[in-house]
Each structure stands twice: as structure tokens, then as C-alpha cells.
Amino acid sequence: MSKNEQVLVLEPPTELRFKGPFTDVVTAELKLKNPTDKKVCFKVKTTAPKRYCVRPNSGIIEGGNAVSVSVMLQPFDYDPLEKNKHKFMWKDASPEDLMDSKLKCVFEMPADNTPISPAKPQDQEEKPSRPAKQVSSPDNEVRKLIEDKQRLEGEIEKLKEENRTIKESEVRLRKVAMKETVSSTPSQSSSQLSSSQGQGGLNLPPVVFLIIALIVGVLIGKLIL
């Protein structure tokens, strides 16, 4: 089955050029034009998905309209001897109306402006000879936000547990304090009453002593007479 001719107009038509140094994200812009009066679906594919971030990577282009696609090359250790086999493909979504276009990736260093062209396109991805530096990507940002959310939820649960423990300790201490207050109140009252009674028997007014002395004197006088 022969493929249909590509109706989309690509700018640039054959190559995506990325200018170094490659210590940071390098972006290449691609414009897709739909010169027909029909809607055309597109989807972006690459042989090195871990090395590129594409926005948007799929969509629908109305008749007579165009879409700009940003292809972002992630940072890596540049090796001029490395034979890159990176390529991009733009396809129409309908299998029976399949159309595709392939673009090669070219790396350019600013020192000598010598382009490093990739080898003949292949369908299998070649692993980089050196590990790429980790950079911030949309997926990494989302993963970081999820981890921060989970960490905050864990801290909130920990604070709630500590709050429950403090409340239980407070209730227990109140019960102990009330029990000790009830048990100590009668003994203190009895002790105070006994002390008051003892002090009342010893601290008599002087008039009482005078009356007692008179009675004792009368009894002694009668005995003498």
C-alpha cells in the first residue's frame, strides 16, 4: 500500500538544528501549515524520547491554519565523535490516510559552527554514550509537587497525632488532680476541726478562771468552818 503525499508544509522542511553549548535546554521551533480546507491530525514521534520534550506533541490543524511546535533538547555532555541517530516523524492519525515526514537532528557548536549531522535514520533509539545531566522538565516538576504534597500530608497527620496525645494526657492529668483533691479534703477538714477544738479548750477567757477561783474559795471556807 503506497503512502499518501504529505499535505502539511513543514518549516524547516528536512532538519531540526540545535545550537550549543548543550549545558542547558536548547529549543528548535517547527511550524506546521495546513494549506488544505480539511482538518489534519498530527502526532510527533522521535527515536530518542528521553532526550527531547515536545510541546504540543499532537493536535488538529484546521484548514488554512498553522501550528508552532517547540522541540526542546535536554542538556547532555556533547561529544563531536558521537554518531547521532536522532530523527523526528510527523504523522497523520488516520491509518488508511497515513502521511509522514521525517526530519533529521543537527547539532551545532558556536566555536567553529561545524554541524554534526546524524547518520542515516533508523527506527531504533541509540543510547547516549555518556549519562545526560538531570534537568528540570514538566514531568519532573509534577513529580516534585506530588512528593511535596505527600510530605506535607504526612507532617499534618503527625501533628494531628501529637495533638490527640496532648489532649489525652491533659484529660488524664485532670482526672488525677480531681481524685487527689477529693481524697485529701476530708482529712484536712477533720484535722482543722480537731485543732480548733483543742485550741478552744486551752484558750479560755480570764473571767472563767476568776469564777472557778471563787467557787474553790467558798468550798474551802465551808470546810474550815
Q: How many structural domains does the chain have?
A: 2
Higher-confidence position of 2 and 135: 2
- In this structure, is residue 57 part of a structural domain? yes
CATH number at residue 57: 2.60.40.10
- Is the pLDDT at 128 greater than 60, yes or no? no
Task: Give yes or no: residues 144 and 93 share one domain.
Answer: no
* Any domain includes 213: no
Same domain, 171 and 159: yes
173 within domain boundaries: yes
Q: Where are the beta strands (DSSP E) in 56-163?
A: 58-61, 66-73, 87-91, 100-108, 115-116
Q: Which of 23-32, 43-52, 128-137 has the lowest mean pLDDT?
A: 128-137
Inter-CA distances, 201 with 187, 194, 196, Å? 21, 11, 9
Q: Are residues 31 and 116 in the same domain?
A: yes
| Same domain, yes or no: 100 and 168 | no
Q: Which pLDDT tens digit goes with each residue over 146-194?
A: 888 888 888 888 888 888 888 888 888 888 888 777 666 555 455 554 5
* 155 and 112 belong to one structural domain: no
122 plus 20 within the same structural domain: yes
Please report whether residue 103 resides in a domain. Answer: yes
Q: Establish if 27 belongs to a structural domain.
A: yes
Q: Residue 164 belongs to what domain range?
A: 136-182
Q: Where a domain ends, among 132, 152, 174?
A: 132
Same domain for 121 and 13?
A: yes
Query: Same domain, yes or no, for 124 and 87?
Result: yes
* Same domain for 148 and 57: no
Give the range among 8-17, 58-67, 175-184 with minimum mean pLDDT.
175-184
Do 146 and 128 belong to one domain?
A: no
Q: In this structure, are 26 and 88 located in the same domain?
A: yes
- In this structure, is residue 196 part of a structural domain? no
| Domain endpoint, select from 132, 167, 201 | 132
Q: Is the pTM of this model over 0.75?
A: no
**For residue 155, is it within any domain?**
yes
Q: For residue 60, is it within any domain?
A: yes
> What does each C-alpha distance from 80 to 48, 73, 111 come to in angstroms?
18, 16, 12
Beta-bridge partners for 177: none
- 202 or 30, higher pLDDT: 30
User: Positive or negative CA dihedral for 193, 195, 196, 197?
Assistant: positive
CB 142, CB 55: distance < 8 Å: no
Shared-domain flag, residues 123 and 154: no
Look at 49-58, 184-193, 216-225 and tell me which has the smallest mean pLDDT.
Answer: 184-193
